[in-house]
Homo-oligomer: A and B are copies of this chain.
Amino acid sequence: MREVYIAGVGSTPFGKHSDTSIENLAVTAVVQALLESTVERDEVGALYLGNFISGPLNGKEILAGLVADRIGLPPIPCTKVEGACASGGIAFRHAYLAVASGQTDIAIAVGVETMTHASTKQTTVALNCAMDNENDGPSGLTFPGLFGLAWRSHEERYGTSRSHVSAVVRKNKSNGLKNPLAQMGAILSEQEIAASLPICDPILLFDCCPTSDGAAAVVLVSKEVGKRIAQHLKHPLVEVLASVQTRGSPNIGGHQDLVSFNANVTAAAQAYEKARVNPQNIDLVELHDCFSIAEIIDSEDLGLVPRGQGGYWAIEGRTALDGDIAINPSGGLLAKGHPVGATGIGQIYEVTLQLRHQHSNQVQQARLGMTHNLGGAGVACTVTILRGNM
């Protein structure tokens, strides 16, 4: 496999975009990434688009071809990939593989979703397409319910309390305040969080990521192309050290318990091995905090925080911008937002800016960054390790 570099990234703000179509959102992100990369459209050899529920919510599929058409790309392979909330990460991995395996020297990955136009019921039904409905459907659980169960298990096992989880909410909402792309941001007190609307015990409104529209894109290039364009770029290239995708159980019964997701653990192990780095080397991570408790679980599964210590590290500030490991400096899904298919590529966008030292919430001396995208009840996971070349 060849070396692969990120030459350009683009993103719309995450939030409400009721004034435009889903394909136009994606086009905006791709055009921005292409401009930044300085490569020409007719040089692009493959496009992968991550999207989860445009079929049910927009009556639109073939988004990969639609977006390529609007941009005026050549008659190249354009593929939509889906793995629930990990769809964006899967799109990135496939664009990476297209370059790494020598199929093309330049590939685009784009993720997009629009959700805010739909009713809460429509959105809930659509999001439940990510469940194993044959096995978990009869329980009536939706995703807040699943992560509520995970919270109770983590509490029972490790003593993780409302205060621990609130520390995650406070950090991420605060990080969101300074991220220009974030859907929301706030300085919140523990009391304000505890007073927010109950959603599914013990999960409160502020423990949940918002419903979002948005798109993000990345242009990946071979080493050869990277060398050619380096002089034209306004920023350094970022190297992809590892891009990994794994599978876990799609249903609750398939997990040994809910304090960990196998797909996370497997993906992290493979990613560290491929990148030849240790968890201790990672300066920052954008991980999949669809609910506040998920950040705690994921941080432990990725080996960034000792098992059971996720809540403790959060409350002690060890996962803050200047902590031992900066977790979700973007605000994460909780504050930046979660336009499902876009999230995985949005994370790449954020980490790329960090490794170029261009971020509004810059982690000092950031050199190694990670992204983590998790789909469904742990059915699909992607982990990426990126290195800055400052």
Which residue numbers of A lie inside 8 Å of B, CB to CB? 1, 21, 23, 52-53, 55-56, 59-62, 64-66, 68-69, 73-84, 90, 93-94, 97, 101-103, 125-126, 128-130, 132-134, 245-251, 254, 262-263, 266, 375-376, 379-380
Contact = CB atoms under 8 A, between A and B. Distances in A.
B65 A380 contact: yes
9 contacts: A21-B134, A52-B61, A59-B125, A59-B128, A60-B129, A62-B132, A69-B379, A80-B82, A82-B82
Given A53-B55, A69-B254, A266 B62 contact: no
Contact of A66 (B75, B76, B81, B132): B132
Give the interface centre of A1, A65, A134, A266 by most chain B CB atoms within 10 Å: A65
A251 B103 CA distance: 27
Given A79-B94, A79-B245, 17 more contacts: A21-B134, A55-B56, A56-B59, A59-B129, A60-B129, A62-B82, A62-B129, A62-B375, A65-B375, A65-B379, A75-B248, A75-B263, A75-B266, A76-B246, A77-B90, A78-B380, A81-B81
Contact of A97 (B76, B101, B130, B266): B101
A247 B76 contact: yes
Give the interface centre of A52, A74, A94, A379 by most chain B CB atoms within 10 Å: A379
Nearest to A101: B101
A80 B49 CA distance: 12
A207 B120 CA distance: 42
Top-8 shortest CB links A-B: A101-B101, A65-B379, A77-B245, A55-B55, A61-B129, A80-B82, A78-B247, A55-B56
A78 B84 CA distance: 12
A82 B61 contact: yes
A133 B65 CA distance: 13
Contacts of A380: 62, 64-65, 78
Contact of A90 (B1, B21, B79, B134): B79
Nearest to A126: B55
A180 to B, nearest CB: 29
Contacts of A62: 82-84, 129-130, 132, 250, 375-376, 379-380
A64 B82 CA distance: 9
B129 A77 contact: no
A338 to B, nearest CB: 16
A54 to B, nearest CB: 8
Contacts of A262: 75
A61 B57 CA distance: 13
B83 A247 contact: no
A275 B77 CA distance: 18
A26 to B, nearest CB: 13
Contacts of A77: 90, 93, 245-247
Contacts of A375: 62, 65
Contacts of A75: 246-248, 262-263, 266
Nearest to A85: B62
